[in-house]
Amino acid sequence: MRYRANTKTGGFTLIEVLVSMFIIAIGLLGLAGIQAMIVSNSGTARIRSIAAILAENMSGAMGANESYWSTGTPPATLTVTGAVSASSCDATWSATTLSDGTLQGKNTDCTTGNCGDPTTMAAYDAKYWGCQLATQLPSGSGQIACTAASATAPTSCTITVQWAEKNTAYKQSSSVASNFTTQQYTMVTQP
């Protein structure tokens, strides 16, 4: 009886191993891209949450100073632009610019003493809020637009927070002129 030697080898050839390693490498690169996008999106969600919290903070301050915001003479539209000179607003709140001349002229620090009147308290609240917008949001600013009370409706104020948000996309074109867009969060409150 003659035995024939088996000339076929069992196992993988070097080319098969290289092809499988190439396929695995492409899959891992795809996963790395998805991971980078997840990290970017979680940062975007964090900024949006901060914007909502800051709008709610101003709404609470307006509710606490009802004598100015609902029965006083609030400006029809108040634009708030903060200064980004420090990481803490405790020392730099007065650097915030308000579009209303009456409120802009008030510079009393209500944490160290008595504000004296509702207008001074409203100015301090708006300036401190503007500083928080500037230090906690990229290019953050705010606006408050109030409608006076009428016989059928109470005073209503719209609080708008704006900031710059980085554009994110899985396959973003490099020809995009600007990587940032202006986003805004708006809420309506009755002080």
Tens of pLDDT, residue by residue over 54-89, are: 999 999 999 999 889 887 678 888 999 887 766 678
Q: What is the pTM of this model?
A: 0.76
Residue 72 DSSP class: S
Q: How many CB atoms lie within 10 A of CB 103?
A: 21
Closest to 63 in 3D by CA, of 155, 150, 152: 155
- Cα–Cα dist 158/57, whole Å: 13
pLDDT tens, position by position, for the chain (191 residues)?
A: 666 656 565 666 888 888 999 999 999 999 988 888 888 788 889 999 999 999 999 999 999 998 898 876 788 889 998 877 666 787 788 888 999 988 999 888 888 878 888 999 999 999 999 999 999 999 999 999 998 877 788 888 999 999 998 876 555 555 544 678 899 999 999 98
- Cα–Cα dist 132/115, whole Å: 20
Q: What is the pLDDT of residue 76?
A: 83
Q: What is the pLDDT of residue 89?
A: 80
**Residue 46 token pair:** 């964090």
Where helices occur in 65-100 by DSSP H, the ranges are 66-69, 89-92
Where helices occur in 115-188 by DSSP H, the ranges are 118-136
Domain boundaries, the chain: 14-189
Q: What is the pLDDT of residue 129?
A: 93
| Distance from chain centroid for Cα 167 | 13
Where helices occur in 65-117 by DSSP H, the ranges are 66-69, 89-92, 101-104
Q: What is the pLDDT of residue 43?
A: 84
